[in-house]
Chain A
Amino acid sequence: MIRVDHISKSFTNELVLKDISVSFDEGKTNLVIGQSGSGKTVLIKCIIGLFEVDEGNIYFHERNLVTMSFKERQLLRREMGKLFQGGALFDSLTVEENVKFPLEMFSSLTSGEKNKRVDFCLDRVQLPTAHKLYPAELSGGMKKRAAIARAIVQNPKYLFCDEPNSGLDPKTAIVIDDLISDITHEFHMTTIVNTHDMNSVMEIGEKVVFIYEGAIVWEGTKDEILNSSNSKLNDFVFASNMAKKIKEHL
């Protein structure tokens, strides 16, 4: 479980996160939703320690990231996987080398065991024949899948996904969503997905947190979203004409 306790973050006098407290459940796909610029990405970057918080604490199973030394953070991060918006695969390495990279850095597995683990992860994300391809040779969906394989190769306890569906067609987006959800349950990870894609919310959102102008204004499940009386949430969720029509038929 990850527990965020009264955190605030500002950039040059602009308060981007305002006294946020929330917990993300273990073994579940937790979604952080909100408009562009609402503070979703900043929240995730604070949770993983890429941004320092101004106030508050962040607990990973009672280990406080905020008070950790640089070395302790490095050790904690080895329990994390992250899927970046653009994939963030290393350009100069093949897919196989990208996925193997964390193993080369930190594991004591033999070469054969590492190859076996890489094969397993690439099979798991349905990329069994992409070993020798470079990131530049992959489609958007393939890049995301390769990045997921790299994120899970070390059996992380925590998985973070930043806009996993951005730039993908609806069909590929569903494949990625399902993959994230399946992997979360299969490996019993605490997964946090940052998105503004309502299809993702309805597809995989077991716990949903809505951020509005840097503050959490609603928490619940995907089923509760449809019947919520929170006007800000409704404005966001039912922004499109199609969503409004669906709401009318509920």
Chain B
Amino acid sequence: MGRVISRPEKNKIYYKQVLNEIEILGINSIGIVIIISIFMGAVITLQTRYNLENPLIPLYLIGLTARDTMLLEFSSTIVGLILAGKVGSNIASEIGHMRITEQIDALEIMGVNSASFLILPKVIATVVFNPILTLISMFVGVFGGWLASVTTGALTSTDYIYGIQYWFVPFYIIYSLVKTIVFAIIITTVPAYFGYYVKGGALEVGRASTKGVVTSSILILLFNVILTQLMLA
């Protein structure tokens, strides 16, 4: 870890690497985040409507439920788990392949701090861009709920929009973004560790990738509990 966060040999090259990683790990994940968020927002809205048969409960609470579910849990934790699979396997297999083909040794022989060169830009890229993905997920998820409401007739557009504005707590967004930053560090460092220390051939790289994804997913769930207790209790 000390080697990862050491001072870069050349800032310009690291800056380029960060931009490159933002594209690979961040921008290329926008599509999957949008697709999943829109459907999850829709499903949360429809399920809540299905479970609210009591006429005493106002329908606008469905919008509130969809909004708070997206803000508090889905856009940070579930998106984090999805990215742990997509981004984590990418990182572990990329670094693992470089290890078994001696490309990491080649970097070391040139005098490059390979751990820092390969891992630090990925950490910075995800810490910077994953909060943006989380915000996108929040907006798209809430929009998905609205779309489901009006297309199925589950509740009126007016009720839904009133609900998503009702009793809004801005701190939920901060809570969600803090979680996202912690998850971003887990998503990059854990698979990178498994890839960096892989030994053997292609089979071991595959195993390292799986281990990286499973371990980072468990850590995300664990830190979700810890951060929730710390920030919301």
Which residues of A line the B interface, CB within 8 A? 48, 50, 70, 74-78, 80-82, 84-86, 88-91, 101-102, 104-106, 160
Question: CB distance A82 to B101 under 8 Å?
Answer: no
* CB <8 Å contact, B10 and A104: yes
* Beta-carbon contact of B102 and A105 below 8 Å: no
Q: Given A86-B101, A105-B10, A106-B9, are A48 and B109 neighbors across the interface (CB < 8 Å)?
A: yes
B82-118, CB under 8 A of A: which get 1 and which 0? Answer: 0000000000000001000111011011111100000
Q: In the complex, what residues of B have CB within 8 A of residue A75's CB?
A: 111
Is B13 at the interface (CB under 8 A from chain A)?
A: yes
How many chain-B residues does the 8 Å CB contact rule pick out? 16
Docked pose: A104 CA to B13 CA in angstroms: 8
When A and B form their complex, which 5 residue pairs have the shortest distance between CB atoms, in order from nearest?
A78-B111, A77-B111, A88-B102, A88-B106, A82-B109
Q: How far is the CA of A75 from the CA of B106 in the complex (A)?
A: 15
- Cα of A85 to Cα of B97 in the assembled complex, Å: 16
Check if A80 sits within 8 Å of B109, measured CB to CB. yes
Interface centre among A75, A104, A160 (most CB of B within 10 A): A104
Q: How far is it, in angstroms, between the C-alpha of A86 and the C-alpha of B105 when the chains are bound?
A: 12
Q: Which residue of B lies closest to A74 (CB)?
A: B111
Interface residues of A, dominant DSSP? mixed
A82-B109, A89-B103, A90-B103 given; name 12 further pairs at CB < 8 Å: A74-B112, A77-B111, A80-B109, A80-B111, A82-B105, A86-B101, A91-B97, A101-B110, A104-B10, A105-B13, A106-B9, A106-B110
- Report how far A50 CA is from B99 CA in the complex, Å: 13
CA distance A91 to B103 in the complex (A): 9
In the assembled complex, the Cα of A160 lies from the Cα of B106 at a distance in Å of 11
CB distance from A119 to the nearest CB of B (A): 20
Give 5 CB contacts A-B under 8 Å.
A78-B110, A84-B106, A105-B9, A106-B110, A106-B111
A86 to B13, CA, bound (A): 26
A152 → chain B closest CB, angstroms: 12
Quick one: given A104-B10, A105-B9, A106-B9, are A85 and B110 in contact (CB under 8 Å)?
Answer: no
A-side contacts of B113, CB under 8 Å: 74
**A85 lies within 8 A of B102 (CB):** yes
CB distance from A53 to the nearest CB of B (A): 16
Given the complex, which residues of B lie within 8 Å of A74, measured CB to CB? 111-113
- Least distance between A180 CB and chain B CB atoms (Å): 16
B110 adjacent to A102 (CB under 8 Å): yes
| A190–B23 CA distance with the chains assembled, in angstroms | 42
Closest to B105 in A: A50
Please report the C-alpha to C-alpha distance between residue A90 and residue B97 in the assembled complex, in whole angstroms. 11
